[in-house]
């Protein structure tokens, strides 16, 4: 939950700015190719999508671009006034406190998978990045 709070705060800090985190005076930025892989660890299902994101843009923009251009991909989110964007569901599947499930955000670059330290409102994918949305569980404490 702390990771979610930090990542959402990052987006909230960008809300007052019209460029939504894009560099000021950056001129014309190009669209760069990225991939989004959705993994459901509970059912061992995986599907990958190709899309683009504005160079130096945000994961949130890439997910919106994908949703706008591919009828097979949908996501929902909420915007918390104090903490920013929170990913709720992907393709109709939402995390649940009762079931101890959530969407984990990862990135794969050059074959190395890392857990993101920020959320969809702050992460800036790079050219040919594979953004992984993994539906998983957490252990009871």
For residue 123, pLDDT over 60 is answered with yes
Contact 76, 94 (CB under 8 A): yes
For residue 13, pLDDT over 50 is answered with no
* pLDDT at res. 84: 81
* pLDDT at res. 9: 47
Give the N- to C-terminal CA distance of the chain in Å, as an integer: 14
What would the pLDDT profile of 106-115 be if each residue is shown by its tens digit?
999 999 999 9
Cα separation, 54 vs 112, whole angstroms: 23
Give domain limits for the chain: 2-18+31-137
Q: HSE-up of 78 (CA within 13 Å, CB side)?
A: 9
Element (H, E) at 74: none
State how far the alpha carbon of 137 is from the alpha carbons of 17, 34, 45, 64, in Å: 35, 26, 15, 25
- What CATH number was assigned to the domain covering residues 2-18+31-137? 2.170.130.30
Q: Which structure tokens are listed for 71?
A: 């009828």
Partners of 39 in the beta sheet? 46, 134
- If you average pLDDT over every residue of the chain, what do you get? 84
Partners of 109 in the beta sheet? 112
* pLDDT at res. 23: 52
Which range, of 30-34, 45-49, 53-57, 78-82, averages the lowest pLDDT? 78-82
In 3D space, the residue among 29, 75, 77 whose CA is nearest the CA of residue 49 turns out to be 75
Q: What is the pTM of this model?
A: 0.79
């Amino acid at each position: 939950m702390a990771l979610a709070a930090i990542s959402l705060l990052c987006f909230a800090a960008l809300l007052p700015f019209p460029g939504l985190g894009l560099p000021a005076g950056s001129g014309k930025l190009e669209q760069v190719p990225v991939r989004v892989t959705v993994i459901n660890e509970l059912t061992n299902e995986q599907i990958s999508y190709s899309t683009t994101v504005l160079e130096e843009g945000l994961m949130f923009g890439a997910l919106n671009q994908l949703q706008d251009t591919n009828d097979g991909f949908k996501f929902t989110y909420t915007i918390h006034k104090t903490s920013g964007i929170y990913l709720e569901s992907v393709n109709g599947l939402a995390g649940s406190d009762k079931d101890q499930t959530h969407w984990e955000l990862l990135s794969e670059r050059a074959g190395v998978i890392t857990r993101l330290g920020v959320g969809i409102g702050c992460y800036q994918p790079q050219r040919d990045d594979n953004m992984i949305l993994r539906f998983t569980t957490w252990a009871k404490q």
